[in-house]
Amino acid sequence: MPHPTLWFLVFLQGVVSAASLVVEIVAGRMLAPYVGMSLYTWTAVIAVVLAGFSAGHWWGGRIAEKPAPNALRQTGWALLAAAATTAIAGLLLRASAGPLLDMVAHPVWAITLLCAAAFFAPSFFAGVPAPVLAQIAVSGSDRSGRALGAMFAAGAIGAIGGTLLAGFLFISWLGSALTLAIVALSYVICALACFGLARSVWQITPLALAAGVLALTGFGTTMSSPCDHESRYFCIRTENIAADPSRPVNLLVLDHLAHGTSARDLPRVMFSDYAAMLDGLARMRMGARPFSAFFVGGGTFSIPRAWADRGIGPLTVAEIDPVVTRVAIRDFWFDPDSARVLHQDARRALTSRPDTHYDVIVGDAFTDIAVPSHLVTQEFFALVRARLNPGGIYVMNVIDFEDRLDALAAIHATLATVFPDVEVWTEQRQPAPGARMVFVLVASEGPSAVDSMRLPAPEPTRYGALSDRFVDTMLYARDPVVLSDDYAPIDRLLGPG
């Protein structure tokens, strides 16, 4: 057969590499509704995809030893398999999520096995072409070193392009399902190119068309996404949980966790322990005087909505995801004119406004069960204190497990290096062994006037401040780490638990 030109092989390798990295980025998004988006999720995705690439490269190396026409035909078959397995990845994920997560108790293993069930095969087949195409490029060039370098560069540039396209364009504009369909069809086109180079198009065209139909079928199947919206940051879903449809109460789900609830007709009522404590403790500490507030995270905007209804303000909310804000306006009855909304990271928002100060800063930026690490460090807490007016307070929620408390201890210890007084509030009841507990930390210049409060959440619930003795014996006995920008292992402290 005539030897293919180097530029065409470089182009083909770049397209395959780009498509395979798009799948890797989409894998993290598609896993989020089932296992959340955390360090463990991305670690599993990267490990599984690299394992697939490695196995595919090994197999492709064996194929590359064959005569070029045979090698190209087998590579075409591998790309058709990549198209088929990519097209059905969403279906496999949904089918295996329930059984795997029920069967495997350890969360890290559960996430890894779930990722492997859906995304190992597409990565394996996508890894086959690289050594075959590189071998053909080298064998057909009198400058084999330059040809090999060009093929490696094409793979790297394609991977960069695929990553950027997936993260900045495809997922937020097209969604995961349509993105995978485009990748599957790209693999089909690349397969046809391989068969064309091997002069075997007439043998394989019906199968290629069948693979294209399979890709489109997989697209139709995966269109039943669990997300109402897929933004750059979250899989977003709204559920009406009201018993009376005429008086809606909506629940916001980001990825796989509930992040807040609001009732249309009860703007001042909080529906969770952490929201009730953040709301009640801040208003208790401020007393009857008006106060300004800055919110680290918006979510359902329940507290800004309630405070605006009470005439409290001015209010500023740093919500990094503009889609979350739009959902809060549409589904959670937030009035955008009642607060200034900054669609940027809260730390950046505070850093870039050194002349603006607040009476209350509220930390509520959980993305999974953990706060983003850069929002729990000593440096961030120092920034928070610098942005508070005299007598101001910082309140933040923390979720930890009754039998661990390592994250609570570390965050408390870190806050205590910045603020003179740090209180830990929680519901006044005996927790079940190993239960997930909700705490609110209050950091300020001095203690609260009371150590117990009864707040609606929505049923009246009593919350209290943990004693200094508890903090010393239960938290500081753990020798907690002080979190810093250099070292903030919040994911490890919270999980797997």
In angstroms, rounded to a whole number, what is the distance separating the alpha carbons of residues 233 and 29? 9
Q: Where are the domains of the chain?
A: 6-226, 264-494
In angstroms, rounded to a whole number, what is the distance separating the alpha carbons of residues 120 and 126? 10
Higher pLDDT, 456 or 32: 456
DSSP assignment of 352-417 equals T-TT--EEEEEE---SSSS--GGGSSHHHHHHHHHTEEEEEEEEEEEEEETTT-HHHHHHHHHHHT
Which tens digit of pLDDT belongs to each residue from 289-326?
899 999 998 889 999 999 999 999 899 999 988 999 99
In angstroms, rounded to a whole number, what is the distance separating the alpha carbons of residues 100 and 372? 27
Q: Please, which residues bridge with residue 394 across strands? A: 361, 443
Confidence of residue 208 (pLDDT cuts 50, 70, 90): low
CATH number of 6-226: 1.20.1250
The one-letter code for the residue type at 142 is D
Confidence of residue 224 (pLDDT cuts 50, 70, 90): low
- Res. 90: pLDDT tops 50: yes
- Res. 44: pLDDT tops 80: yes
- Res. 445: pLDDT tops 80: yes
Specify whether the CB–CB gap between 431 and 456 falls below 8 A: no
Burial 265-285 (b: 16+ CB within 10 A, else e): eebebbbbbbbbbbbbbbbeb
Which tens digit of pLDDT belongs to each residue from 349-392?
999 999 999 999 999 876 655 678 888 999 999 999 999 999 99
Specify whether the CB–CB gap between 15 and 186 falls below 8 A: yes
In angstroms, rounded to a whole number, what is the distance separating the alpha carbons of residues 208 and 191? 8
**E-assigned strand segments in 282-378:** 293-296, 315-318, 340-342, 358-363
- Res. 476: pLDDT tops 50: yes
In angstroms, rounded to a whole number, what is the distance separating the alpha carbons of residues 336 and 184? 41
Take residue 412 and report the two structure tokens written for it.
Answer: 């408390």
pLDDT for 255: 78
Q: pTM score, two decimals?
A: 0.78
pLDDT for 225: 64
pLDDT for 497: 46
Q: Give the three-class secondary structure for 417.
A: coil
Higher pLDDT, 43 or 228: 43
Distances (CA, A) of 216 to 179, 228, 390, 427: 12, 21, 61, 51
Beta-strand relationship, 315-318 and 340-342: parallel
Which tens digit of pLDDT belongs to each residue from 92-149?
888 888 888 888 877 778 888 989 999 999 999 999 999 999 999 988 766 778 888 9
Decide if domain 264-494 falls under CATH 3.40.50.1980.
no
The rounded mean pLDDT for the chain is 87
In angstroms, rounded to a whole number, what is the distance separating the alpha carbons of residues 301 and 324? 9
